[in-house]
Structures are given as structure tokens and as C-alpha cells.
Chain A
Amino acid sequence: MARRDARYKVVMNRLGFEAIRVGWAEGSHAAGLAALEAMRPNVPDAPPLGRGLVRTGRVATFIDGRLVAGAVPGGVRHYLGNGGGSGVVTVIGWGFPSRFLVLGTIYITPRDWFTPGMIDGVVSAGGPLLVGAMKGRLRRAPDARA
């Protein structure tokens, strides 16, 4: 008896897989940039602690530990190790002394500018940015059936 599945052959468009990953990274990086700009108005810039801090914001995106977009200050790279492991990772950060300003010290009351910016940039705007980037990449991806 002939096998029923002989009539159905699944052809996977493996060339599209990379388009999905790259599109995801593009959308994730765009969401990170949106979050960074949403944070910027709340970054303290008054001397001495905030002087120049507003210019130190960075976004970096990794695919499987490889930096593919943005810039990474050396300390952040060291902290991330291999860039966060497998998959797509986007990191948003601000330079010294943002850690002390955000989390506080014995003498400094915490002042969190990350959470509101993440809500605006990632939660609110992230979805459309991600979808748009992935659609664009998939549209341009070669079709294995061709």
C-alpha cells in the first residue's frame, strides 16, 4: 500500500530562518533605541553626579554572543561575558555613575529612569517595531522553492 504521506512533502524555506533572526535583531535594536530616547529626558544632568551622563546612553544588540548593532562600553562587554549567550539580546545602558543614581547608595536616594523609558520604548512601541522589521526581512528573503 502506498504511504499516505508520499503526496505531502514539506519544503522548509531554511533561507528564511536567518531572515527571521536578523529581523528580530533589527526590531529589538529599534525598540532599544526607542527606549533609550524615552529615558533621555529623565536622565539627571545636573553636576556633579549627572554632568554629561545624558550623553552616555548606549544600545547594543547581539546574536549568539556576537555584536551586530550598536556600541558597547568596555565594562558592559565584560559584564555580559559572551554577549548574553544564544539568541538575540539587546542591552540598554548608561555610563557611570548611573548605577548608583538608579539603585541608590547610603547618601543617594534612588532615581529610576529605566522603568518609565522601557515601558514607553519597549512595551508600547516594541511590538510594531519588531513586526515591521521582521516583515521587511522576510519579504526580501530568498525563497528556497524558487
Chain B
Amino acid sequence: MLEMWDPVGRLITELRDDAAVAAIVGANPSTGDIRVRSPKPGPGDAQGAGNYRAFIVIATLATPRHQSVPMQRARHVVRCYGRDNEEAARLYVAASDVLHHRGPRLASGGQGIYVTHDDTGGTSDADPDTQQPLYFFIVETLATTQVVAQ
């Protein structure tokens, strides 16, 4: 049975569960949760200069399906915000290490992910509204569009 799905939920879970990512977005400053969000920042994440918080935002760009095979090649942008440029770079490295060239696994709904890749590497940028430093990269996920047998 074909079941189109967006792997973003799985990517969020994998980032939150990583100790290196959680050490940055869960403690800088500590607000009681791991600040990995989608598709927009959570309440209070975006602050002005002098009060920046480290957090990650993942958003779906596209989930093109293969024309004849039950697969998709989804693309997501991961924006890693830091209190300064160095922290944004460390957060990017931690997030990229979680997702780059990570092999086969199953999502909670039984759909399969063959592999994920950091497809672009990190790009340094700043948010145009708050000027907060960030690094962004694009993750490509090769996944099924149906539940796979275990």
C-alpha cells in the first residue's frame, strides 16, 4: 500500500536524540526543552541581539517522488541558529554529523529511509529580521513511499 509521508518528523527526532545537538540547543540557554523545531521557531526562540538562543529549524523544501518506483528523494533545509557565529558553526557540525551518510532505518510508521546526506555543506548566514548568526544546510533523504515489511 502506497503511503506518501514527509520524513521531517524522523529527522527532528534524530536531532533531538543526539547528545551533541542537545548540549547546544537544550542549554544555551536552558529553557526546559530541546529546541529543534519545524517548520518555524517555537515561542520565544527568536530573540533580539544580546538575548539570542541556540535552536534548529527544519523545514520541508520538496518531496519529489520517483515516477515508477515507490520512493522519494525529499529535501529539507536545516537552519542552525547560534548565539554567535562560532556556536552556529558548532551546531551545524553536530547536526550534520547526525544526518550525513546515515544508513537504513525505519520510521515510527514503518516507512523506510535508505540514507540521508548533508547535500550542500554549511553556509554561514544571518537572519534578516534579527541578525542572529546561523548556518544552514540541505538534507537529502532517500526514502520509501510505502510501509516496508520488517
Contact = CB atoms under 8 A, between A and B. Distances in A.
A15 B21 CA distance: 56
A100 B79 CA distance: 12
Nearest to A116: B62
B64 A119 contact: yes
Contact size class for A? 10 to 19
A109 interface: yes
A112 B79 CA distance: 15
A116 B130 CA distance: 30
Interface string B65-79: 000000000010101
B106 interface: no
B127 A106 contact: yes
B129 A112 contact: no
B75 A112 contact: yes
A112 B61 contact: yes
A104 interface: yes
B57 A104 contact: yes
Contacts of B59: 104, 109-110
B77 A110 contact: yes
Contacts of B129: 105-107
Contacts of A114: 61
27 contacts: A97-B128, A100-B128, A103-B79, A103-B136, A104-B39, A104-B77, A105-B127, A105-B129, A106-B40, A106-B46, A106-B57, A106-B127, A106-B129, A107-B40, A109-B39, A110-B39, A110-B60, A110-B61, A110-B77, A112-B61, A112-B62, A112-B75, A115-B61, A115-B62, A115-B75, A116-B64, A119-B64
Given A97-B128, A106-B41, A107-B129, 19 more contacts: A102-B61, A103-B77, A104-B57, A104-B77, A104-B79, A105-B128, A106-B40, A106-B45, A107-B40, A109-B39, A110-B60, A110-B61, A112-B62, A114-B61, A115-B61, A115-B62, A115-B64, A115-B75, A116-B62
